[in-house]
Structure 1
Amino acid sequence: MAGLSSLRFLRELVAKRVLRRWAKAARDAKDTDLPVLRRQRSVARDLRFHLNELIHVADSRLALPVIGSTSFRKPQGADWAWRPQLWRGPLPVSGMSTVQSKSRLGDEVTLFHDCAFSELTLRQLRNTREADLAPFGLRMDVFKFDGSFLSVVIDLPPEAVHGLKRRHLLRMDTIVEMEKPLEIFARLNIRHGPNTEQIVRELPLHEEDIMVEFDLAYTKMNEKRVERAWLDLIFEGPEMNQVILRDLTFSRRPRAEL
C-alpha cells in the first residue's frame, strides 16, 4: 500500500509540474520566439486532442442517466418495448454536418431529404437533466432549407414484428424540444410480402407527454407475411430551427378482447 501511495504522489507531482509548465508557456506565448512557439503549438494541439477525448468520455460516463439504460414507462400488458441505440449508448460517430440524404447515424437512424444543398447537421448529445430517462438524445439543426421534405427514419428490430398481429397497438413515446413551433408527423410502415401498410399520426407537440398509437386493426396487414417495419418522423417547415429528440421509445400491446 505504501508503494501505491508513493506512486500516486509521484504522478500527482509530475502532473502539477506539467500543468505549471503549460501555464507558463501560455503566459509567455506573446513573446516566445516563433520557432519555439511553432513547436509548442504542435505539441499543444496533440495534447488538446487527448484531453478533449478524456473529457468527452468522462462526461459521458459520470453523467446520468446511466449509459445503456432501457428504463422507461411501458403500457400495461406490453409484450415488446425498445429504445433505439442512438438514445441508449454512445455511437462511434457522434455527428455530421452538411448531411446528405440517406446518411446514417448509427445502425438504426437514417436522414432523408431532397435539398439541392444541405445545410443540416445531426449530432448525438448526452442527456444530463434529472427528468431524462434516456442517456442520449438527437439534435438536428436546420439552416437554409430548399427541399420539399425532411424525415428521420428509424428501422425497427426484428422483435418488433415477430408475432405481430392486427390486434396489436404499436405505440411511440418521445420528448421533443424545438426553437420554434413546427409540425412533426409519424408514419409507421409495415412490409408484408409485396405490400407495405402505412399509418400516419401527427405528434401532439402541445401536450406534456408526446405519444402516438398505431392501431393495426385498421390495416390490411397479412399477419403471415410480415417482414419488417420502420417509422418515419416527418418534419414540416424545418427551416432555421433546432429540434432535439431527448428520447424515443417504442412498445406494443395486444388490444383487450371484447
Structure 2
Amino acid sequence: MTQAGTIYLVGAGPGDADLLTLRAARLLQQADLVVHDGLVDTSILAMARPDATLISVAKSRSKHTMPQEAINALLVREALGGRDVVRLKGGDPFIFGRGGEEAEAAHAAGVPVEVVPGISAANGAAAAAQIALTHREASSVVSFVAGQCKGLSEQDWSGLAGKDRTLVIYMGLKTAPQIAEKLMGDGLAPDMPVAVIENAARPRMRVLRGVLAALPDMVSRDGVTTPALIVIGEVVARPRSGDDLATPDQELAALAVEAMQ
C-alpha cells in the first residue's frame, strides 16, 4: 500500500519572495506538486524545484478555474497517491485563504496536513505602505473583513471602524460603493481616512489615500485592480517617513464634505 504524502498549506505572503518564511522556501524546493493561487507571484513559483508539477487554481470574482470542492479533492487524491503537495496561498492560509476547509478535507481523508503560516496580506500591505494598523494615539483594535461575500448588506459591521479602531477589508474593490454606503449608514464619518493598497510589496505597488465618501470614485477613477486591500481608520492619516501629517487630496476631501451635507 502506498504511503500517503503530506499536504502543506503554505502562506506565500503579500507578494515579495523575500518575505517567505524559511520553512515555506524549503518546502517549495522539496515538493513534488505545487497547487497555487493566481495571486502568488511568479518569483515565488520560480523557487519550486525544477521537476515539480505546478497547477494553478486561480479564482476571480467572475471566473473560478476550479471549485473549492474540486481543489480539496485534488489535494487529497495526490497525497493519497504518495505525493507531497504544497498548497501555496497568497498571504496566510488561515486568513481568508480557505485553508481551514482544505485542512478539514485532509483530516477527513486521513491525510497528514501541516500549516505553514505566511505574512498576511493585511500585515504585508500595511507594512509596505508604512501604515501602522495599531498606534497608541490612533488605534487599539484591528478587524479584518471580507468585502466580497454573500449577504454583504446584512452583515453587522457596526463598531468595527471609527475612533481608536482600524478596519482592513479584503476583496473589497468590486463592492466599494456598497462598503462606503454601509459604513456611513452605520455612522462612520464620511471624511474618515482611507487607503487602498494595490500590489503590496511588489514593484508595481500603489498606495491611494482619500476619505470614505470618495472610496468608490477613487477605486474607479484610478483603475485599481487586484490584489488590493482597503484600510479604513485614523492610522491612515498618521505621519510617515519624510512626511507631514497625511491628509486626503483636495478633490477627495471636497467629495466628503459634499456627502455630509
Is TM-score (shorter-chain normalized) higher than 0.5?
no
Q: TM-score w.r.t. structure 1 length?
A: 0.27
Determine which structure has the larger strand proportion and give its number.
Answer: 1
Q: TM-score w.r.t. structure 2 length?
A: 0.27
